[in-house]
Amino acid sequence: MRKWILNIHLALGIVAGAFVALLGVTGGILAFEPKLERLSHHNISYVEPGGRALSLAEIGNAISRKYPGEEIVAYLPSTNPRFPARVILSRGIISVNQYTGQILGVRTRGQSFLGTVRALHVRLAMGSEGPFILKWSSLAGVLSLFSGLYLWWPVKRMRVGGRWWSARFCYDLHSSIGFFSLLPVLALAATGTMIGFEEQVTRFMDNMSPPGASEHDRVRPVAKPDAVPLLGPDQAVAFATAQLPGAIPYRVQMPGYGGFYVVAFAYPQKRIAGEQNFISLDPTSGRIVSAHLSSQLSFSRTTAGRDRRDS
């Protein structure tokens, strides 16, 4: 049995290890994505701070004068006085000097080096086949970890011995690293597997839940198709910011793309989990209809909505 499990462990390690290495390299590059993007587009990535920053509506007017007839998909407000504001159009991402309204340039849509890295990291740059391969490799990683724990358990060796780079040295090093990294790597592999099999997991959880409308159903209201936005983007940001004091808005999606204003926030001191904060607002009333807050470790929640237009 031990020899059989060892062979399975080695086979799974080869399969999962190749994808872990790829994800590690591409993830390491994406961790520096903002800096790399500014480096590759230096001429449109910096402004000289000075004066009053324009409102989102004023920036939108400058965009409309330059590109008449093009609908704004989203605003990307500046999170640093030296960085320009950006606006997403169908043609690409427009950089705007938020102090003068000057259009600095456009990053046209199309595959770039970082885009290729992101596609490799998310789906192996293989379309629908990539996520299929990744989810099964994640499961292989989980099985490899448990089989490795089974093989390690009789010896329970956590010290590295033998001559430098001898077979014994490499075996002990592998066993020690495997033991001390078991829990964090297992958490990554297990959660990656659950994300890969999200549809099946969701169906299972729905079947386990009591009958009736779920929270997930309640926080996804449908906007009226003929609704006319009465709130401007600046008002939407102000209403949403009141719910998250200290957070910085870094994206404002317009209601033409989904029916609601969706304001994304990041906390300056929380660069990882702090970026998973989204608040959706009704564009006709300003009522907060849903929120996805990292501090609550939940995908969404219904906010006791009240019309904030008069507050």
**Range among 156-165, 224-233, 256-265 with highest mean pLDDT value:** 256-265
State pLDDT tens for residues 35-91: 888 888 888 999 999 889 999 999 999 999 999 989 999 999 998 999 999 999 988
Residue 212 has pLDDT above 70, yes or no: no
Lowest-pLDDT range, 10-19, 106-115, 282-291? 106-115
Closest CA to 30 of 268, 294, 272, 292: 272
pLDDT (0 to 100) of residue 195 = 84
Q: What percent of the chain has pLDDT above 90?
A: 32
State pLDDT tens for residues 120-139: 888 887 877 888 888 888 88
How deeply is 228 buried, as exposed, middle or buried, from its count of CB atoms within 10 A (0-12, 13-18, 19+)? exposed
Closest CA to 180 of 201, 160, 206: 160
Domains of the chain: 1-208 (no CATH), 217-296 (3.10.450)
pLDDT tier, 295 (very low <50, low <70, confident <90, very high otherwise): low
Tokens of residue 189, six digits: 């592999």
d(CA 306, CA 310): 10
pLDDT (0 to 100) of residue 304 = 37
Tokens of residue 214, six digits: 């779920």
pLDDT (0 to 100) of residue 275 = 62
pLDDT tier, 94 (very low <50, low <70, confident <90, very high otherwise): very high
Stretch 240-253: mean pLDDT: 90
pLDDT (0 to 100) of residue 71 = 92
d(CA 184, CA 179): 10
Stretch 105-118: mean pLDDT: 78
Q: What percent of the chain has pLDDT above 70?
A: 85
State pLDDT tens for residues 169-182: 988 898 888 889 89
pLDDT (0 to 100) of residue 130 = 83
Closest CA to 299 of 193, 183, 202, 188: 202
Mean pLDDT taken over the chain:
82
* CA 168, chain centre distance (Å): 41
What are the strands of the beta sheet with 277-281, ordered from one edge? 103-108, 92-96, 85-89, 74-76, 248-253, 261-266, 277-281, 288-292
Closest CA to 111 of 83, 92, 94, 132: 92
**Which region holds residue 40: left if phi is over 0, alpha if psi is between -120 and 50, else beta?**
alpha
